[in-house]
Amino acid sequence: MESTTSAPKSFMQVLRLPQVREVTGLGRSMIYQLEADRRFPRRIKIGARAVGWLQDEVQAWVAERVERSRGTSPHTTHTDHQPWR
Summarised one tens digit per residue, pLDDT across range 47-62 is 999 999 999 999 999 9
Q: Please report which confidence band the pLDDT of residue 8 belongs to, taking 50, 70 and 90 as the band edges.
A: low
Listed by start position, the domains of the chain span 14-68
Gap between the Cα atoms of 72 and 66, Å rounded: 8
Dist CA 83 CA 50 (whole Å)? 40
Residue 11 is predicted with a pLDDT of: 87
Sheet with 50-54: list strands edge to edge.
Answer: 14-15, 50-54, 44-47
In the prediction, which pLDDT does 4 show?
Answer: 54
Q: In a 3-state reduction of DSSP, which class is residue 66?
A: helix
pLDDT of amino acid 84: 46
Residue 15 neighbours by CB distance under 10 Å: 21
Share of the chain above pLDDT 90, in %: 68
23, amino acid identity: V
